């Protein structure tokens, strides 16, 4: 189980499999790197795949760390692993981190895939997308009083009723029972990160091929927010998965893998 201790003091855990061009998978808030199980299995046939646990999630240690320092840590780890050019896939918070990574070291990346992710996750007067601030505050309060069961309730909320009634979701739940619950302190601190970060200008400067994947019924990243992304990145490739919420790669892994593979093969 590889670990790398970074300059920030975080002991980062990652899994790696396969050979070839590097693929980096970054998960979102309240899950961990194992959420990419089926992508790791599929893409490791032709790529060397790295799936990282974010700080306080999975097997990575926790200490208060900004999004910028997380990105600096990962760049240091990429240097340690001699990863000069990578493709990066970020879900939710992992997508926000991907944008920050590009901001700090744009020459490092070949292609970027954002899944259920935005450059800003909380609504403001000039940005009516993402979550309302009262929702974030309520979620933080519920975590403080009802941890860890609130983590499971939130996870279920990210799927549509149709997804939750499927055999596929029962399979997801079986694996979910084996996953480690993220540290409460990390969840609360990173909720503040989601409240505060605004990477809209950095998003506009992305100059590498960009793929956006979204669930049609994702309440965090709505279809209206995808229209916003299209407006600022008209050249981006967009795929919307019908009847899916925040994790289309879990509910429809074969379709998701096909979309991702097609994008990675494009010149």
CA pair distance 190, 236, nearest whole angstrom: 28
From the candidate CATH numbers 3.50.50.60, 3.40.50.1820, 2.30.30.220, 3.40.50.1000, the one assigned to the domain spanning 3-265 = 3.40.50.1820
Looking up tokens 């998965």, which residue turns up? 241
Please report, for the chain, the start and end positions of each structural domain, with discontinuous segments joined by +.
3-265
Residue 166: its pLDDT value, please? Answer: 95
26: pLDDT confidence band, cut at 50, 70 and 90? very high
pLDDT in tens, 182-240: 999 999 999 999 999 999 999 999 999 999 999 999 999 999 999 999 999 999 999 99
pLDDT in tens, 117-155: 999 999 999 999 999 999 999 999 999 999 999 999 999
**Nearest Cα residue to 226 out of 102, 131, 114:** 114
Q: Answer yes or no: is pLDDT of 178 > 80.
A: no
Round the average pLDDT of the chain to a whole number and report it.
Answer: 96
Q: Answer yes or no: is pLDDT of 97 > 80.
A: yes
- The sign of the CA dihedral 210, 214, 218, 223 is positive
Give the chain as a 3 state SS string.
CCEEECCCCCEEEEEEEECCEEEEEECCCCCCHHHHHHHHHHHCCCEEEEEECCCCCCCCCCCCCCHHHHHHHHHHHHHHCCCCCEEEEEECHHHHHHHHHHHHCHHHEEEEEEECCCCCCECECCECCCECHHHHHHHHHHHHHCCCHHHHHHHHHCCCHHHHCCHHHHHHHHHHCCCCCCCHHHHHHHHHHHHHCCCHHHHHCCCCCEEEEEECCCCCCCHHHHHHHHHHCCCCEEEEECCCCCCHHHHCHHHHHHHHHHHHHCC
pLDDT in tens, 98-119: 999 999 999 999 999 999 999 9
Residue 1: its pLDDT value, please? Answer: 58
Q: What is the mean pLDDT of residues 84-104?
A: 98
Q: Compute φ and ψ for 182, nearest 5 degrees.
A: -60, 155
CA pair distance 75, 233, nearest whole angstrom: 25
């Amino acid at each position: 189980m590889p670990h790398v201790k970074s300059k920030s003091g975080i002991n980062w855990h990652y899994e790696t499999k396969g050979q070839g061009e590097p693929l980096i998978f970054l998960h979102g808030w309240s899950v961990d790197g194992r959420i990419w199980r089926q992508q790791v299995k599929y893409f490791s046939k032709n790529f060397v795949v790295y799936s990282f646990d974010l700080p306080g999630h999975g097997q990575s240690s926790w200490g208060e760390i900004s999004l910028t320092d997380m990105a600096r840590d990962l760049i240091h780890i990429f240097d340690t692993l001699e990863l000069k050019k990578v493709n990066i896939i970020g879900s939710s918070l992992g997508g926000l981190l991907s944008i920050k990574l590009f901001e700090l070291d744009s020459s490092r990346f070949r292609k970027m895939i954002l899944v259920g992710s935005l450059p800003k996750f909380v609504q403001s007067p000039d940005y009516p997308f993402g979550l309302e601030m009262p929702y974030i505050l309520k979620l933080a309060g519920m975590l403080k009083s009802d941890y860890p069961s609130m983590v499971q309730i939130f996870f279920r909320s990210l799927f549509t009723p149709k997804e939750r009634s499927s055999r596929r979701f029962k399979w997801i739940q079986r694996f979910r029972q084996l996953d480690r619950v993220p540290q409460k302190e990390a969840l609360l601190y990173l909720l503040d990160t989601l409240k505060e970060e605004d990477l809209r200008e950095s998003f506009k400067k992305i100059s590498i091929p960009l793929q956006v994947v979204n669930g049609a019924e994702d309440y965090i990243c709505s279809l209206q927010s995808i229209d916003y992304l299209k407006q600022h990145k008209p050249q981006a490739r967009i795929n919307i998965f019908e009847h899916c919420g925040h994790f289309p790669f879990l509910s429809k892994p074969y379709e998701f893998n096909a979309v991702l593979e097609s994008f990675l093969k494009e010149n």
